[in-house]
Structure 1
Amino acid sequence: MKTVMNRRDAIRRVALLMGGAVSMPAILGVLGGCSAEPGADAGAEWKPAFLTPEQAALVAEVAEIMIPRTDTPGARDVGIAAFIDTMLKDAYPEDGQRRFVAGLADFEAHALREHGRAFLALEPGQRTAMVKQAHDPAVEAERQSTLPLDERQRPFILTMKELTMLGYFTSEPGATQVLQYRPVPGAYHACVPLRQAGNGKTWATETSRPF
């Protein structure tokens, strides 16, 4: 039987990882059926509907830095760029779309200012360092903010993180291979040792933290 991912559970997981909040457009998009599909943005046959091909390539690389392939699939493997493209097109209002695109452009401009090259032309270590440099101060600022989420105008890097994690954990590989996952419906197991109950995987209960 095909496992079914509970989208509301995925939203709760991502909210915990983001420090307790997920934006309304992201919630509505996921509950409306948007999901990442493995291989969706792989190969020359996929064309973004909202982003330009260059923007989509940048989004795919930043997402892969956030969730890299290890012994489990990475962001690129589950089609995160295609998921984000669909979410922006179908779930985000115009001002949210503009903020994301403007933030993406600023991120690329920062690479040009700091290194004299486009982000995708940088060495892998430089790309990772750039994402960390943008991410960690944004996380700290969000932790200290007392404004409601819809008044914060979450910066590009955190919107990118939110969408990456939502796409990842609503995909079948992300839901079933990375975090501990309880299929719906699932089998009943009586009392078992904790080490067996988790299969060595962790629940998504940690709050947002620096890289």
Structure 2
Amino acid sequence: MNRRLVLKQLAMATAGAMLLPACGVDPKKVSIALNNLKVSGDEEDLIAEIADTIIPATDTPGAKAVGAHLFTLVMVDDCMEKSEQEKYLKGLRSFNDSTKKITGKSFIKASPEERLEILTALEKDRDNLPEETKVFYSRTRQYIVQGYTSSQHFLTDVKPYQLIPGPNYKGCIPVTEQKPA
């Protein structure tokens, strides 16, 4: 037996064993760090598409473009109690079941018109939805709108923020005594 050949083959086998896990297909990762939520990249994409349906891009960027879906995930991760987070995640995972009942497709595969139809139907049929789906949809919608209206784009381009009391404030005015009427 040739020792050089054995050593070469052993080195190749070791390198191959180390390289093999790197070649595997990992599920898509979330683009932000979350402490409590365990959300996949596909679930993040679902929330992004819901955001884009609620506030679509027109001549101004939509909710997805300003990152309202990421704001939503951070708010759920940081501001909701553990039990509410669990309901939210169950609702997130059952959301596609609710959409398949309406259009027969998952939300991601639906056209923009079908997505709007899905959200309209969910609004109308809110009382008959499972509790988790209600929690998911209402919180997602609330945080998407909040994230969009507190984004830099909205506060600088759409509705510029003015510092109170404003530029016309006059703080040095003599106080005069007024007579009661």
Judge same fold: TM > 0.5, yes or no: yes
Aligned counterpart for 1:46 among listed residues 27, 31, 47:
31
Higher relative contact order (CA 8 A, sep 6+): 1
* Corresponding residue for residue 157 of structure 2: 177
Which letter does structure 1 place at the counterpart of 2:140? Answer: M
- Work out the CA distance in 2 between the residues paired with 1:131 and 1:124: 11
8 Å CA contact 1:75–1:164 kept in 2: the answer is yes
Q: Structure 1, residues 153-209: CA drift from partner, whole Å, max 9, x if none?
A: 9632221111011111121112233346324574229xxxxxxxxxxxxxxxxxxxx
- Work out the CA distance in 1 between the residues paired with 2:163 and 2:154: 13
Larger CA Rg, structure 1 vs 2: 2
- Work out the CA distance in 2 between the residues paired with 1:121 and 1:129: 13
Structure 2: stretches of 5+ with no match in the other structure: 1-28, 128-132, 170-181
- Work out the CA distance in 2 between the residues paired with 1:45 and 1:109: 22
Aligned counterpart for 1:117 among listed residues 105, 109, 127:
105
4+ runs deviating over 4 angstroms: none
8 Å CA contact 2:30–2:40 kept in 1: the answer is no
Q: Structure 1, residues 102-134: CA drift from partner, whole Å, max 9, x if none?
A: 222232112233333221011111111101111
- Work out the CA distance in 1 between the residues paired with 2:102 and 2:30: 34
Inter-CA distance 45–63: structure 2 relative to 1 (3 Å threshold): closer
* Corresponding residue for residue 17 of structure 1: none
Q: TM-score, normalised by structure 1?
A: 0.54
Q: TM-score, normalised by structure 2?
A: 0.62
The number of equivalent residue pairs is: 133
Aligned counterpart for 2:84 among listed residues 73, 96, 100:
96
Structure with the higher fraction of residues in helix conformation = 2
Identity %: 26
Give the drift of 1:45: 8.7
8 Å CA contact 2:52–2:63 kept in 1: the answer is yes
Give the superposed CA RMSD. Answer: 2.7
- Work out the CA distance in 2 between the residues paired with 1:113 and 1:45: 27
* Corresponding residue for residue 136 of structure 2: 156
Aligned counterpart for 1:134 among listed residues 95, 116, 122:
122
Structure 1: stretches of 5+ with no match in the other structure: 1-43, 142-152, 190-211
